[in-house]
Chains A and B, each alone.
Chain A
């Protein structure tokens, strides 16, 4: 607890001194009566000054919440010495908005008394928060001292991003070796019919296609496509973001990544995660609900960290990007390092698709004709960048919050349907 002397103390002491000296010099006893209240308040204020002793705890009704959900915060104040009138302020982290309750608030706490302050905050933004930084302020009985304390009663609160709804997923060109939900291009044991071929020693009798065999006079067997899983790596570009008001491209990318991870994991695919930016963060591909929690926790830590170091794709550990994996990049295409890294990935033969989180809704042309011209030139350069990706055989679909993510995914799918693999 830090004690501050209120400006009133010095002022009242001075006024009392002035009144008493005036009374003596001018011989006016009334000035003693005039000075007496100020001297009395100052003296009583000094004599009754006691440091307040209170214990404060913060309770949250839950530790995990979804974006836009409300969280109840209860601040419990217990007094062990007379604290008088207390002013209590709960410093809410940026991203949590108070929707119910009074903050700051005033309360009176007696000895052994327990008072509760109930507040309701809405999680406006996803993230890992720590709620409970309390600022307490109390004034002495006569207001000549101010006591202030900053208490750290923080409790963790994880706010998960509201996932984007995705129905149809983007399929990798090649599948992995484990069983899954995707029909592989290879021929092996499976359900989906692939082709017919003449019987060879070792073939199972139940794979013989009797109708084709009867027509051709010799044994023919069915060839089948097996059902395999796929590896998907969500590549989040966190070098830079465009932000306007309470929303930005990173928020959209995180919401999209959450939705995609959820959907791929539901299909028994292995999903990995790479946050490529000022701080490199990665997660090896895995499967199951645990992996979803790991990915979401990693996403919560994602932030744009300013970094001038040149980073290329070699900075990412090799195991993070397994062969035959689909790399699905979520990027605003604002930083050359991310762009070059993605083109480098493509050059190394990775199956790459780019969902461009469009920064255009978060930007405004500069003032005047020059500003507008510069903005248009910038937009044209972005178009050229998109063409550069498409020439390299990388499908690019622009997505912003005004359209569903499914539309962008469908755009990428249709590109992949009609495109051929190209050498770069």
Chain B
């Protein structure tokens, strides 16, 4: 329930930030939130990533429609999106209350704050990246590809073990 409320809040945020074309952004967000609710009610863990992706996509759409430079609040949005995902997976646990709610909630908030810091750092690095030439963009491209490849490889290895 908290996850759905959080997703709805993110939808509202992106819609308000979009300006023109807010209806389109809102539609994607509502679709994502509804899908999240359906996944939680039906306890379908496989549907959850699609719902989170839709909520993230509406933010991307709002950024495209706004066209007003880098959004400094993006790390906060990212932290809230992660929090939404964590809460959603938590609610799919067989015994969500086992082990105490408060300690787990505290660790989730800590994790979200940590990701805000990481996001802000990344955003700071990327600021003015376009003006620093093609080479830097290529490094960014390779870094992104490398990160995805690394995480995928680690995950694949872990699954095999």
Contact = CB atoms under 8 A, between A and B. Distances in A.
B53 interface: yes
How would you classify the secondary structure of chain B's contact residues: helix, strand, loop or mixed? helix
Contacts of A12: 85
A15 B152 CA distance: 11
B93 to A, nearest CB: 9
A42 B126 CA distance: 22
B129 interface: yes
Contacts of B74: 30, 33-34
A14 B49 contact: yes
A37 B114 CA distance: 9
Contacts of B158: 5, 9, 46, 49, 144-145
B48 A11 contact: yes
B100 to A, nearest CB: 7
A6 B100 CA distance: 20
Given A8-B89, A30-B74, A143-B89, A37 B122 contact: no
Interface string A26-58: 111111111111111111001101000000000
A33 B119 contact: yes
B63 A43 contact: no
Interface stretch (A17-25, A222-230, A301-309): A17-25
A29 B127 contact: yes
B13 to A, nearest CB: 13
Contact of B75 (A5, A18, A33): A33
A87 interface: yes
A10 B85 CA distance: 13
Contacts of B63: 28, 30-31
A105 interface: yes
B77 interface: yes
Given A13-B155, A18-B53, A36 B78 contact: yes
A106 interface: yes
A41 B111 contact: yes
Given A32-B126, A49-B158, A37 B78 contact: yes
Instruction: Give 9 closest A-B pairs by Cβ, nearest first.
Output: A106-B99, A37-B115, A30-B74, A29-B126, A33-B119, A11-B49, A20-B144, A37-B82, A46-B154
A270 B115 CA distance: 80
Contacts of B45: 7
A104 interface: yes
A31 B123 CA distance: 9
Given A33-B74, A106-B100, A142-B111, 8 more contacts: A14-B49, A24-B141, A33-B119, A34-B60, A36-B119, A38-B82, A40-B114, A40-B118
A26 B147 CA distance: 18
B98 interface: yes
B81 A37 contact: yes
A236 interface: no
Interface of B: 45-46, 48-49, 52-53, 56, 59-60, 63-64, 70-71, 74-75, 77-79, 81-82, 85, 89, 95, 98-100, 111-112, 114-115, 118-120, 122-123, 126-127, 129-130, 140-141, 144-145, 147-148, 150-152, 154-155, 158-159, 161
Given A9-B158, A145-B158, A87 B98 contact: yes
A10 B45 CA distance: 11
Interface in A344-391: none
Nearest to A42: B151
Interface residues of A, number: 51
Contact of B152 (A13, A26, A28, A38): A13
A16 interface: yes
Contacts of B144: 20-21, 23-24, 32
A28 B64 contact: yes
A85 interface: yes
A87 B95 contact: yes
Nearest to B57: A22
B118 A36 contact: yes
Contacts of B119: 33-34, 36-37
A19 B56 contact: yes
A10 B155 contact: yes
Contacts of B161: 3
Contacts of A23: 144
B102 to A, nearest CB: 13
A104 B95 contact: yes
A27 B48 CA distance: 26
Contacts of B145: 20
Contacts of A37: 78-79, 81-82, 112, 115, 118-119
Contacts of B78: 33-37
A417 to B, nearest CB: 63
Contacts of B127: 29
Contacts of B148: 13, 16-17, 20-21, 39
Interface string A141-165: 0111100000000000000000000
A26 B45 CA distance: 29
A18 B151 CA distance: 13
9 contacts: A6-B89, A16-B148, A20-B144, A29-B70, A30-B59, A33-B77, A33-B120, A37-B118, A38-B85
Contact of B159 (A5, A28, A34, A105): A5
Contacts of A9: 155, 158
A11 B81 CA distance: 13
A142 B82 CA distance: 12
